[in-house]
Amino acid sequence: MTWFRCAETRPWASMRLFCLPHAGGSAVFYRPWAKEISPAVEVHTVQYPGRADRMADAFVTDAHQPARLIAGAMAPLMDRPAALFGHSMGAVLAYEVARLLQERGAAPAHVFASGTRPPHDRGDERRVSDLDDDGVVEEIVKMGGSDAEALQEPELRELVLPYIRNDFTLIEDYAHRDGTRLAVPLTAIIGDSDPHVSPEQARGWAQATDGRFALKVLPGGHFYLTDQQPAVIAEIHRTLEVPAAG
């Protein structure tokens, strides 16, 4: 099964935006972006294994493994400039993918790192992956990532909790490795009331690249980008210097 889902192909697009979801997320999270983003941009979203239409595919347990696989899958799609956007766990994976692409002489034009601390400062928060099922659900609801009532359904829990727990294990076990230093422009975007990353911590992303760095703080919590989608897309347009949709 392929790694990317493209809701709206645009052969005329001048660049591609590759979006990487959060822990427990799937490609559907970014589906609305396809119609809202500039016509000059074609959106491709990563579908992690073990969920949705990849339910039969085995989980990956080391963050560096999906980064390698995603970078490899991007190779035939790098015939035009590309940018990466990752939220939370997806931001760390986007960073690792960008490093690999740079090593291969195909560095992305820009990296957007959303809703998380930089890779060299993962913090000391408690491990969600070690909690029981009720604890995992409680943490997800606190973050605003899923509907509390839906996760009370036993059938849904049985379906989604294995991959949610796997994702948290993957990112909580992540350790930054020395190696290629990123030289790509990077924008960190966070919500002003996100309990998991402060503006000061987000500024640490500047140490992750030798490229130009910018920080954008928007109203909202960890999933600020749900309510602030127009502002996020406007920031992408401004940064990538592409015309707005419509």
Cα 29 from Cα 151, distance rounded (Å): 17
What's the domain range around 217? Answer: 4-240
Compute, in degrees rounded to 10, the torsion defined by CA atoms 205, 69, 54, 45.
50
The predicted pLDDT at position 138 comes to 87
Give the model's confidence band at 148: pLDDT under 50 very low, under 70 low, under 90 confident, else very high: low
Mean pLDDT across the chain: 94
The predicted pLDDT at position 137 comes to 87
Instruction: Answer whether residue 90 is part of any domain.
Output: yes
Residues 6+ apart with CB under 8 A from 76: none
Sequential DSSP letters for 130-167 = GS-HHHHHHHHHHHT-S-TTGGG-HHHHHHHHHHHHHH
Identify which has the larger pLDDT, 123 or 154.
Answer: 154
The predicted pLDDT at position 146 comes to 62
Instruction: Answer whether residue 121 is part of any domain.
Output: yes
Residues 6+ apart with CB under 8 A from 166: 50, 59, 61
Whether pLDDT at 16 is above 80:
yes
Give the model's confidence band at 144: pLDDT under 50 very low, under 70 low, under 90 confident, else very high: confident
Q: Between 89-103 and 154-172, two packed helices, what is the crossing angle to 10 degrees?
A: 50
Instruction: Answer whether residue 245 is part of any domain.
Output: no
pLDDT tens, residue by residue, 174-230: 999 988 899 999 999 999 999 999 999 999 999 999 999 999 999 999 999 999 999
The predicted pLDDT at position 149 comes to 63
pLDDT tens, residue by residue, 179-194: 889 999 999 999 999 9
Whether pLDDT at 151 is above 80:
no
The residue-averaged pLDDT of 150-164 equals 86
Give the model's confidence band at 147: pLDDT under 50 very low, under 70 low, under 90 confident, else very high: low
- Tell me which residues are annotated as active site: 88
H or E element in which residue 66 lies:
helix 64-74
Instruction: Answer whether residue 105 is part of any domain.
Output: yes
The predicted pLDDT at position 212 comes to 98
Instruction: Answer whether residue 246 is part of any domain.
Output: no
pLDDT tens, residue by residue, 97-133: 999 999 999 999 999 999 999 999 987 777 889 889 8
Sequential DSSP letters for 13-25 = -SEEEEEE--TT-
State the CB neighbour count (10 A cutoff) for residue 200.
Answer: 8
Total number of domains in the chain: 1
The predicted pLDDT at position 142 comes to 84
Give the model's confidence band at 55: pLDDT under 50 very low, under 70 low, under 90 confident, else very high: very high
Instruction: Answer whether residue 37 is part of any domain.
Output: yes
Could you give the 3-state DSSP secondary structure of residue 105?
A: coil
Instruction: Answer whether residue 39 is part of any domain.
Output: yes
H or E element in which residue 214 lies:
strand 213-218
Cα 213 from Cα 190, distance rounded (Å): 14
Instruction: Answer whether residue 53 is part of any domain.
Output: yes
The predicted pLDDT at position 139 comes to 87
Find the angle CA(45)-CA(166)-CA(65) to the nearest 5 degrees. 60
The predicted pLDDT at position 126 comes to 73
Q: What is the CATH number of the domain that holds 17?
A: 3.40.50.1820
